[in-house]
Structure 1
Amino acid sequence: MRLPLYPIFALGSVLIPQAHAESTAPGEGELSFNDAIQPLLSEACYHCHGPDSGTREPKDDPLRLDRKEFAFKPRANGKSVMIPGKPEESELIKVIRSMDPEVKMPPPKAHRQLKPDEIALLERWVKQGAKYEEHWSFIPPAKKTLPQEADDKWSRNPIDHFILHKLKQTGLSPAGAEDPRTLIRRATLDLTGLLPDPADVETFAADPSDAAYEAYLDKLLASPRYAEHRARYWLDYVRYSDTHGLHFDNLRSIWPYRDYLIRAFQNNKPFDRFLTEQLAGDLLPAASVDEMVATGYIRANVSTNEGGTIPEEVLVNNTRDRTEAFGATFLGLTVGCSACHDHKFDPTSQKDFYSLSAFFNNTAEKSWDENIQDPPPVLRLPGNDKMPELERAVAMRQEPAEKYEKLRTEAATQFAEQEAAGLKAQPVSEDGLKVHFRFDEGKGDVVKNSAPGANPATYTVDTNPLVWGEDAWLWPSMRMDISSRLPLPDQGDFEANEPFSLAFWTMARLKVANIDTGMGGIVSRMGDSARNSHRGWDLFCDGSKFVIHIIHQWPQYAIRVESEPFARGQWRHVGFTYDGSSKASGVTLYVDGKPVPLKITNDTLQPGQTIRTDARMHIGRREDEQPLRETRFQDLRLYSRALSAEEFTRLPFEDVASQIIAREPDPAKWSEDEKFVVLDRWYLGSKNEEARRLRGELDRIDGEIAKVGEGGTPTLIAREKPTPATAAVLDRGVYSARKERVFAATPSFLPPIANGEPHNRLGLAHWLLQPDHPLLARVTVNRMWQELFGTGIVETTDDFGIMGSRPSHQELLDWLAVDFRESGWDMRRLYKLMLTSATYRQSTATTPDKLAKDDKNRLLSRAPRFRMDAEVLRDSALQASGLLVEKTGGPPVKPYQPTGVWEAVSMPESNTKQYEPDKGENLYRRSMYSFWKRFAPPPSLETFDAQAREVVCTRRARTNTPLQALVTMNDPQFVEAARKLAERALKGAADDKARIDLMSRVTLGRSLSAEEIPAFEKSLGRFRSHFSAHAEDATALLSTGDSPADATLAPADIATWTMVANQFLNLDEYVTK
């Protein structure tokens, strides 16, 4: 008879188990949930019993095991699945131990059965009280007391105390100190990405004291080469590229952002400022040129101009990419796993993801950017002669910008004071109001006409439904789909002698996916030429001009007036009045509440002629013509009277504000949208004279900035929209399946943004830097550790969540994180702390015992040894040869590259289809300046695991393949470097042994041993014999590369020593550190 166990599981996970650094085995005292239990539950159970509500089982009574408050909650049968202290009575243990396939959990089909020792671990944990803990990385780090080991004569700084403590626990000891020459080479490569000067090596070898070592490190840390090398890592972290990345993959101008990174490291900019400037430099009240350039971080994502793309889908993709990139780089979390559903393992809900994405969903740019070099917003940087003028203009913004921001923060208080003193928002009279569509329904295909006595009160869209919520202004917007029709057959049927007025908010886009969207009726009651020769009226869009038609018969009897061009892609309040005079002078166009000049092109309508038509009134099109594509609408009104100019000034915001205030007088109870309308747009925009003055001053200065930058280098920057930052939760991540609308907010399981902080990117930056934030300092320190030691303390640098690797030394990581923050976020100091530790200064020598107990060297019982990154290999070869051009910054360069690489992946129309290598010094710049095409990164670098930078990369793979040896042996850059190193040896030393020694000291930082020299002498003899007999081979070898061979040296000698130099550049000792 089977025991009637209550089913608590339905499905199990199929994830592969992951080894964790600090797990606890049975029989070792009290178990830690984080170290011993959570890894088991996350791998075996969380798929169906974790944070994701969408997959939680069983459906009729879902069970959640990731949180204490849910795990102990009574089930439908009145019992909890775990009874602390009583595993034999706990349903959890019973179903795990069951042999019945219908009861056993995880079920057999999950292909993840718990092992006996894992079951024993769970059983023991329940017996100990089933104590839950918050996930380690979600708890703010603490700086614990340094562990002390008896007779510790090894530790040099706090890092070593933690390392030694863990080694002693495992029965291991540190390796001996590294020899001075190897240490100085290691430190130079780690800090600068270049080889040490042989003279510096000898100097340090003669005096390897701590003082000499620290002085040398200080020199490196102050070097531009250090700044370049650190910035090179950040190019991966921010997915920097010189092209857009999709479809045409055209050139984009953003290299000044790369140079900003170099300057930041050169000046040792504190990390808190470094972060803030990149996330929100444009939102700093006194933003400098450098701080504006820093916001290129926001614009570094892949973009497209592919025909047929849907702008809203592209916007969703762009925002999602930025959110995922932010999560990986600054939070160390895989937040993108929550785009379609709640995270399977971490407590990041889908709502959390889209609330976080709202911070990046409010930038003033087109999602479909045409793949042009300078898609707005951009800052144009003039030459050095005009840069001081630009800096002065930008500095002039500081005072008015700070005052304006202060007014914005105090707007609610000032508004309340002025309202008490008699300030009132005056509504526009509803007299003659026939149609009033707010277009705030947010969904569906029925819209309400809220005009007084409206009959009918609603209208239904024909064919395709309306598209809601793609943008927001007064509230989320409405757009007519290309096939949608909103006919109003009983509205707008005016006669030529009857006055009427039309007004609405709209935003139109000029081009989408190479399709011109700039021609068509915005609002009309007019047919085509076949229907009474366009009889009727309309407000028409002709490119970027607004046109008003009032027609009896086109073109003989008609009024046509047009405006000057207006910039598209931004919300504008547009409307016109017609006084019934049958004259063009009786038409007035208003844009943003102000009358605008009109050009009269037709004024032939005669008194008594009719404009009545059987065509229906339409929004977004004429009756019989194609729609005006990509145009959004809000708050549309049609009056059977001519509105006054004063009424038109109140229509854009004051009228809407009056409705908000009438509905809810207390500003504290207004939504963010309502605060935007009443306080930001109406009160500050029209009723606060100081705000209007300051806004005018800022507009004037911005005009000067643009004028100074005319003709300068454009660089992509971020600009915030004035509207509140919002996003929509998307069902399964589908761009058009909008559910709940959310405002910008940080993940609910992390500390909230401090009171008083703005919910924009600047507030987000400040949130990251809050003292109670558990992730930023840890994640940042961990990456810096990885740059030097090859692997982070947490190996999964982009995943500090439940499924990420456990830290090898959590207390060390936390100590470093707190210390980093306490130091004022001093990056240079932290690098020096790591490099001066005894841990870093160890030898790489290992023993069988160490390999047996710690084969991956996670405990650091020896110094790590690994192949250098792609850029370091190339740059060091150029440096060894004397070819390296140590010039800092500037436009990207194009070194050697195999022919046809770009052509093979480029569209015919792409402006990066043809690759033309540079000439002269640009061939020999550091690799970080190489032109980066996302579709085809530099091939020699990609071979050594450089990333395409389509997505963020915080941890490169490190592979070893035969193709890599072919690059270092045969690539023109390496062959030419070997040739120049050969010439350096031939001219710098008198005999063979001295030349071999010179090459060894340049590339390896040491002289060869007596046992090593014969191998090189043997190959030297073989090469010498060959080239002496084959002059043509020597000539061919010397022709590789743009630099000429030294004419004072014999070609056979250069060729011979080139091959020897090539051997040095391919030694395992050379390519590793």
Structure 2
Amino acid sequence: MMRFCFLVVLGLLWFSLQGPAFFQNPLPEPDIDPKDRLHWAFIPPQKQVIPALAGPQENLQPIDYFLLEKLRASKLDFSPQASKTTLIRRLFLDLTGLPPSPQEVEQFLNDRSPDAYGRLVEKLLASPHYGERWGHYWLDLVRYAETNGYELDQERPQAWRFRDYVVRSFNQDLPYPQFLLDQVAGDLLAKSLLLPKEELSAGIQRNPRIEDGLIAAGFLRCGPTHVVSGNLDPDQLRQEVLTEMATSIGSVFMGLTIGCARCHDHKFDPVSQVDYYRLQAFVGATYFTDAEMSSTKVKKTAEEEMTRWKKQTAPLKKTVEALEFAVQARLVKVKIDNLEPGAKAAWNTDPKQRTLEQHKITGLTQQLVKVTWDEIVEALPAKQKSERDSLKKKIHELERRKPQGSAMAPTVFDRGTPSTAFLKRGNPKNKGALVPPGYPRVLLGAGVTQKFSSELTRIDLARWLTSPNNPLTFRVFVNRIWLQMFGSGLVSSPGDFGIRTKQPMHLPLLDWLVQDFLESGGSVKRLHRQIVLSRAYRQESKNESPLGLQVDPGNSLLWRMNRKRLDAEFLRDSILTVSGSFSSRMAGYAVRSPLEPEVYDLIFTESEPVGLWPTSPDETEHHRRSIYLFNKRNVRLPLLEAFDQPDTLNPCPVRNTSTHSLQALTLMNGPFSREMSVKFAKRVMRDGGSKQGKQIELAWMLAFSRMPEEEESALARQFLQNQEVLLRNQPSLGNAPAKAPGPDFSTPQFQALADLCLALINASEFVYRP
């Protein structure tokens, strides 16, 4: 006993002497090459002076001076300004993600005042749709979804609160430094705002900033997560979570592929494996939780609603289970009887009495006696099957109206001291020294020695990221905004500012924009205003200058505007808008619109594949903006997937723009497109009157924000005439639904108009931002 006590005391003494040194002493890591420190992206943004230009400089913005300096050096100039119809469509799609209405186009065209364009810009920046459009891009970056991913892809209750926080933040023009701080450390900030002895739930009622902080910190759990993990090792699962959080911070805010240093020093960038684990240490004490946000009274009411719902569903489910159990037991017995004698004997032996060999046999033959749901349903007698189907329908309807429960914030919290173990080769089973939080050395500058301390928290990390001297954070963000507006970034690789990324041609412009962005306090709306008021943004995109194509075929100098295909979600939203079906309701629970059978079959389940997608009961909800659709990682709508909606496994700084036959097939023949083209035609017939010419004009104005040219009108008339004749001879080819209400909507004339509307939403002019 004395010997045991002596060893314990000796161990404590060793830890007191060696432990702190073990924790604090830096691990061996390679020196940083001085040349790497001179990489343009690792040097803080330099103060820039707007270039002076000779000659006329009417209506130029600071952005234009930087661009014109390089254009004129190549004997180029900006293209002529785009037409007003092009500008209004471009502005609406870029700032709100929606096309303008004919009334808005007419109002802008008739406004001859010199500040008409500027007032339109301010109107769109103040639109609630602005936050939806730009929140959509941020959700791409953070991999937002409402399920956990992996095989089971289980739902994350109330994950939509993070989506609403992002939309709200862009609409309120929340300063970007605060936006970043909320997402990296919002839970810690919320805790610091509490009064002494105040509970978190009570604090939420008192201070909306606490609520936003908790919700925003959900950024750290936006990535895919193993929840039902079977026999996966706890250390492995924990390391997956830490990797997701650390890699997201490095990718989203720093524009570095820092996750490549998890198993070894980065192959290209001066980021050591120790640097990686220092960054990971900031989240080493961070765990997932759901914070209650409702008052006691509201929570009680929600619980009572849920109790009533369960009382309604429980008897129905119990009856279904009883119907199934008898059939299942009989089928299992039949399968056991068909096994070989040894296996049959093993299964018929009480599990408690089985020998080791019999346990082995039952394990190996388990799949042979497993009964599928299809087998159970097929074996049910007709009367019981009918009864079961009726009960299942009632259960499904109840599931569609299931109470949402009290308000919860999927968030995080810290427990213990921030630190993490250095993993040799990234293996959770090969742990080395504990690593305290710290910043990548190459970003601190030569001669700067940081103090590694377990007292550093995610708040410190966020403040370091938002420091004006941080070389990456604001360059990365400003470049992301520029990329979305112009179709290509000032830095060509928006997700990688590392060594392999060459110094951009327009680095002075980028640094000036960063400087202006910081001086404005990080106002995203001001940044957008600077861009859209520039001559560069207002250029036409159709210019095919021989000199421009020869000198700068890739348009790096921006001598013309770039056309840009609409993101998949904005394409869907535009179709809804022109058809008159668009629902402008914002925020709240996600919408489940109906799925096509082949898409429904993709939903994984270990139980019966019934009721896996309870569609929203209110059909008008199905026509809300795409940002409000239920975002399931393993299931995407065909239209969105065809037009390159990204998966949510990795941050997406820029979407692919592919061209393939499936896009045309989906947009022309998909049920959504055909349904919306019928509604589009109804709107045209209703609002355009009975004259064909007026209908064509309205269709063009809705689809393209302009009047048709004479040749286009003639082609449209010819198409309608030919299509009407074809449909009279072959009525089955019509696009209108068989049971369309009213005689006006069942004639070949209307069906031809619906086909014309379908053709318009398939046109490149509709699919692309000019």
Q: TM-score, normalised by structure 1?
A: 0.55
Aligned length: 616
Superposed CA deviations along residues 957-1002 of structure 1, whole A, max 9, x for unmatched, are 1111111111211222221211111011111223111111101111
Which amino acid letter does the alignment assign opposite residue 378 of structure 1? D
Higher relative contact order (CA 8 A, sep 6+): 2
- SS of residue in 2 equivalent to 1:364: strand
CA distance in 2, matches of 1:911, 1:773: 51
| 1:838 equivalenced with 2:750 (yes/no) | no
CA distance in 2, matches of 1:725, 1:209: 59
CA distance in 1, matches of 2:566, 2:638: 17
Choose the corresponding residue for 2:259, options 311, 314, 336: 336
- SS of residue in 2 equivalent to 1:360: coil
CA distance in 2, matches of 1:932, 1:840: 33
Choose the corresponding residue for 2:237, options 297, 314, 320: 314
Superposed CA deviations along residues 831-854 of structure 1, whole A, max 9, x for unmatched, are 111011000000112222222222
* Paired residues of 1:1038 and 1:1051 also in contact (CA < 8 A): no
| 1:712 equivalenced with 2:406 (yes/no) | yes
CA distance in 1, matches of 2:404, 2:729: 62
User: Which residue pairs with 1:291 in the alignment?
Assistant: 213
* Paired residues of 1:246 and 1:306 also in contact (CA < 8 A): no
User: Which residue pairs with 1:1002 in the alignment?
Assistant: 702
* Paired residues of 2:37 and 2:442 also in contact (CA < 8 A): no
Q: Quote the offset at 1:892 in angstroms.
A: 1.2
User: Which residue pairs with 1:819 in the alignment?
Assistant: 516
- SS of residue in 1 equivalent to 2:597: coil
Which amino acid letter does the alignment assign opposite residue 257 of structure 2? T
Q: Quote the offset at 1:381 in angstroms.
A: 4.2
User: Which residue pairs with 2:180 in the alignment?
Assistant: 275
User: Which residue pairs with 2:68 in the alignment?
Assistant: 164
CA distance in 1, matches of 2:457, 2:744: 65
| 1:863 equivalenced with 2:768 (yes/no) | no
Choose the corresponding residue for 1:780, options 477, 497, 504: 477
CA distance in 2, matches of 1:214, 1:842: 16
* Paired residues of 1:897 and 1:939 also in contact (CA < 8 A): no
Q: Quote the offset at 1:152 in angstroms.
A: 4.0
CA distance in 1, matches of 2:456, 2:761: 53
| 1:957 equivalenced with 2:653 (yes/no) | no
* Paired residues of 2:82 and 2:540 also in contact (CA < 8 A): yes
User: Which residue pairs with 1:797 in the alignment?
Assistant: 494
User: Which residue pairs with 2:362 in the alignment?
Assistant: none
* Paired residues of 2:298 and 2:406 also in contact (CA < 8 A): no
Cα distance change, pair 861–934 in 1 and its aligned pair in 2 (3 A): same
Q: Quote the offset at 1:363 in angstroms.
A: 1.2
* Paired residues of 1:255 and 1:715 also in contact (CA < 8 A): no
* Paired residues of 1:250 and 1:912 also in contact (CA < 8 A): no
Q: Quote the offset at 1:217 in angstroms.
A: 1.2
CA distance in 2, matches of 1:203, 1:756: 61
* Paired residues of 1:903 and 1:914 also in contact (CA < 8 A): no
- SS of residue in 1 equivalent to 2:248: helix
User: Which residue pairs with 2:641 in the alignment?
Assistant: 942
Cα distance change, pair 187–136 in 1 and its aligned pair in 2 (3 A): same
* Paired residues of 2:603 and 2:612 also in contact (CA < 8 A): no
Alignment of 1:489-528 (within 5 A): none
Which amino acid letter does the alignment assign opposite residue 712 of structure 1? S
* Paired residues of 2:294 and 2:406 also in contact (CA < 8 A): yes
User: Which residue pairs with 2:117 in the alignment?
Assistant: 213
Runs of 4+ more than 6 Å apart: 752-757, 910-913
Cα distance change, pair 154–343 in 1 and its aligned pair in 2 (3 A): farther
| 1:227 equivalenced with 2:131 (yes/no) | yes
Choose the corresponding residue for 2:726, options 1022, 1026, 1032: 1026
CA distance in 2, matches of 1:939, 1:992: 34
* Paired residues of 1:184 and 1:201 also in contact (CA < 8 A): yes
Choose the corresponding residue for 2:572, options 874, 886, 900: 874
Q: Quote the offset at 1:828 in angstroms.
A: 0.8
CA distance in 2, matches of 1:803, 1:152: 39
User: Which residue pairs with 1:418 in the alignment?
Assistant: none
* Paired residues of 1:874 and 1:927 also in contact (CA < 8 A): yes
* Paired residues of 2:720 and 2:749 also in contact (CA < 8 A): no
Q: Quote the offset at 1:756 in angstroms.
A: 11
User: Which residue pairs with 1:620 in the alignment?
Assistant: none
User: Which residue pairs with 1:466 in the alignment?
Assistant: none
- SS of residue in 2 equivalent to 1:864: coil
Q: Quote the offset at 1:296 in angstroms.
A: 1.2
* Paired residues of 2:214 and 2:409 also in contact (CA < 8 A): no
Superposed CA deviations along residues 8-28 of structure 1, whole A, max 9, x for unmatched, are xxxxxxxxxxxxxxxxxxxxx
User: Which residue pairs with 1:1065 in the alignment?
Assistant: 761
Superposed CA deviations along residues 995-1027 of structure 1, whole A, max 9, x for unmatched, are 111011111111111122222222111221122
Which amino acid letter does the alignment assign opposite residue 326 of structure 1? I
Choose the corresponding residue for 1:921, options 620, 630, 645: 620
* Paired residues of 1:867 and 1:1072 also in contact (CA < 8 A): yes
- SS of residue in 2 equivalent to 1:167: helix
Cα distance change, pair 289–1003 in 1 and its aligned pair in 2 (3 A): same
* Paired residues of 2:438 and 2:452 also in contact (CA < 8 A): no
Cα distance change, pair 973–306 in 1 and its aligned pair in 2 (3 A): same
Q: Quote the offset at 1:364 in angstroms.
A: 2.7
CA distance in 1, matches of 2:148, 2:437: 27
- SS of residue in 2 equivalent to 1:901: helix
Cα distance change, pair 734–357 in 1 and its aligned pair in 2 (3 A): same
* Paired residues of 1:160 and 1:838 also in contact (CA < 8 A): yes
User: Which residue pairs with 1:67 in the alignment?
Assistant: 33
User: Which residue pairs with 2:581 in the alignment?
Assistant: 883
Alignment of 1:66-465 (within 5 A): 67-68=33-34, 134-153=38-57, 156-207=60-111, 209-253=113-157, 254-284=159-189, 285-286=192-193, 288-304=210-226, 305-365=228-288, 377-382=289-294, 386=298
CA distance in 1, matches of 2:738, 2:161: 35
More strand by share: 1
Choose the corresponding residue for 2:443, options 750, 763, 782: 750
Which amino acid letter does the alignment assign opposite residue 716 of structure 1? P
- SS of residue in 2 equivalent to 1:735: coil
Q: Quote the offset at 1:210 in angstroms.
A: 4.4
Choose the corresponding residue for 1:976, options 670, 675, 683: 675
CA distance in 1, matches of 2:277, 2:221: 19
CA distance in 2, matches of 1:293, 1:1047: 52
Q: Quote the offset at 1:157 in angstroms.
A: 0.9
| 1:763 equivalenced with 2:457 (yes/no) | no
* Paired residues of 1:983 and 1:1046 also in contact (CA < 8 A): no
- SS of residue in 2 equivalent to 1:261: helix
Q: Quote the offset at 1:1050 in angstroms.
A: 3.9
* Paired residues of 1:945 and 1:958 also in contact (CA < 8 A): yes
Q: Quote the offset at 1:379 in angstroms.
A: 2.2
More helix by share: 2
Question: For structure 1, which runs of at least 5 residues remain unmatched after alignment?
Answer: 1-52, 57-63, 70-131, 366-376, 391-708
User: Which residue pairs with 1:729 in the alignment?
Assistant: 422
Cα distance change, pair 998–362 in 1 and its aligned pair in 2 (3 A): same
- SS of residue in 2 equivalent to 1:728: strand
Superposed CA deviations along residues 480-519 of structure 1, whole A, max 9, x for unmatched, are xxxxxxxxxxxxxxxxxxxxxxxxxxxxxxxxxxxxxxxx
CA distance in 1, matches of 2:297, 2:492: 48
* Paired residues of 2:479 and 2:494 also in contact (CA < 8 A): yes
Cα distance change, pair 719–133 in 1 and its aligned pair in 2 (3 A): closer
User: Which residue pairs with 1:629 in the alignment?
Assistant: none
User: Which residue pairs with 1:1014 in the alignment?
Assistant: 714
Over the residues paired in the alignment, what is the CA RMSD in angstroms?
2.7
CA distance in 2, matches of 1:384, 1:198: 49
Q: Quote the offset at 1:355 in angstroms.
A: 0.6
Question: For structure 2, which runs of at least 5 residues remain unmatched after alignment?
Answer: 1-27, 194-208, 303-402
Cα distance change, pair 379–911 in 1 and its aligned pair in 2 (3 A): farther
- SS of residue in 2 equivalent to 1:288: helix
Superposed CA deviations along residues 314-347 of structure 1, whole A, max 9, x for unmatched, are 1112211221111111001110111111112211
* Paired residues of 1:842 and 1:862 also in contact (CA < 8 A): yes
Superposed CA deviations along residues 680-726 of structure 1, whole A, max 9, x for unmatched, are xxxxxxxxxxxxxxxxxxxxxxxxxxxxx9941433111111x2211
Choose the corresponding residue for 2:431, options 713, 719, 738: 738
